Amino acid sequence: MHIPRAAGILLHPTSLPGRYGIGDLGEAAYRFVDFLSQSGQHYWQILPLGPTGYGDSPYACFSAFAGNPLLIDLDWLAADGDATADDLAQAPPFPEDRVDFGPVITFKQAVLRRAARRFREHGKAELQQAFAEFCAANQSWLEDYALFMALKDTHDGAMWNTWEWELASRQPEAIAEWRERLDDVLFVHKYEQFQFFRQWTELKRYANEHNVQIIGDVPIFVAYDSADVWAHPELFMLDEHRLATAVAGVPPDYFSPTGQLWGNPLYRWEVMAEDGYAWWIARMQQALTMVDLIRLDHFRGFAAYWEVPAGEPTAVNGQWQPGPGEALFHALEAALGELPLIAEDLGHITPDVEALRDQFSLPGMRVLQFAFATDAGNQYLPHNYTPHTVVYTGTHDNDTTKGWFTSRNETEKQATWRYLGPLSEEINWALIRLAYRSVAVLAIVPLQDVLGLGSEARMNTPGRFGQNWSWRFRARDLQAAHWHKLLELVLTYGRQPSAKPQEKPSWM
Distance CA 57, CA 299 (A): 19
Catalytic residue among 27, 96, 312, 397: 397
Q: Residue 52: name the closest of 37, 38, 63 by CA.
A: 63
3-state SS class at 250:
strand
Instruction: Respond yes or no: is residue 397 known to be catalytic.
Output: yes
**SS3 string of 147-171?**
HHHHHHHHCCCCCHHHCCHHHHCCC
Q: Are 277 and 325 in contact (CB under 8 A)?
A: no
Distance CA 36, CA 40 (A): 6
Instruction: Respond yes or no: is residue 75 known to be catalytic.
Output: no
Q: How many other β-carbons are positioned within 10 Å of the β-carbon of residue 457?
A: 23
Catalytic residue among 297, 345, 399, 449: 297
Catalytic residue among 24, 73, 228, 344: 344
φ, ψ of residue 257 to 5 degrees: the values are: -65, -20
Q: Are 329 and 339 in contact (CB under 8 A)?
A: yes
Q: What Rg, from alpha-carbon coordinates, does the chain have? A: 23
Phi-psi region of 231 (alpha: psi -120 to 50; beta: other; left: phi over 0): alpha
DSSP 66-134: ---GGG--HHHHHHHTSS-HHHHHT-----SSB--HHHHHHHHHHHHHHHHHHHHHH--HHHHHHHHHH
Strand-pairing partners, residue 319, are 307
List, edge to edge, every strand of the sheet that includes 260-265. Answer: 260-265, 246-250, 304-309, 319-322
Q: Residue 460: name the closest of 447, 472, 473, 471 by CA.
A: 471
- Strand ranges for 347-429 from DSSP E: 364-367, 389-392
Instruction: Respond yes or no: is residue 344 known to be catalytic.
Output: yes
N-to-C CA span, the chain: 36
Q: Residue 296: name the closest of 214, 219, 394, 395 by CA.
A: 219
Q: Which amino acid would we find at residue 427? A: I
Q: Are 98 and 12 in contact (CB under 8 A)?
A: no
Active site residues: 297, 344, 397
